[in-house]
Structure 1
Amino acid sequence: MNLTDSCPRCCRRGITPTTSRTRGNRIVHGYRCPCGHQWATARDLTAYSELHARRAQRPNRKAA
């Protein structure tokens, strides 16, 4: 699953994240539009079952 967003300034669609970070059951994506605007979104992973399943399959630091 490839998550994209729309720029809140110029309304350009399909902007891909430039950074991502997982915090508990949330994933935070940072975006930068070609118009120069930057923003971040936080999504609840339990709402995106496919992402949540992939995260559960990755080894965590304790298992590594």
Structure 2
Amino acid sequence: MNDSCPSCLARDIAPADTRTRGDRIVDGYQCPSCGHTWATVRDLTAYSELHARRAQRRTRKAA
């Protein structure tokens, strides 16, 4: 998942490194414009619940 630099606001920066830690994905970034580094963490359980709800809505419409 690409991100924007929180320092200089450069856009569409790809992760330099991605690691999985249990139910979380940690993406590390380094801005090519200013060199700022940061990390983001996504909780996969939150995303899987969202996708399950969407699948249920499609099922209800089909019924």
TM-score band w.r.t. shorter chain: 0.5 to 0.7
Report what 1:37 is aligned to: 36
**Alpha-carbon shift at residue 13 of structure 1 (Å):** 1.0
SS state of the match for residue 47, structure 1? helix
What does the per-residue CA deviation read over 1:1-52, in whole Å, with 9 as the maximum and x for residues that have no partner? xx11110000111110000110111000000001100001111113334xxx
Q: Matches of 2:2 and 2:45 in 1, distance apart?
A: 18
Larger Rg: 2
Report what 2:3 is aligned to: 5
Gaps spanning 5+ residues in structure 1: where?
A: 50-64
Identity, in percent, stands at 68
Q: Matches of 2:19 and 2:42 in 1, distance apart?
A: 11
Q: Matches of 1:19 and 1:46 in 2, distance apart?
A: 21
Report what 2:17 is aligned to: 19
**Structure 1 or 2: more helix by fraction:** 2
Q: Matches of 1:44 and 1:36 in 2, distance apart?
A: 26
Report what 1:55 is aligned to: none
Report what 2:46 is aligned to: 47
Q: Cα RMSD (Å) of the superposition?
A: 1.1
Gaps spanning 5+ residues in structure 2: where?
A: 49-63
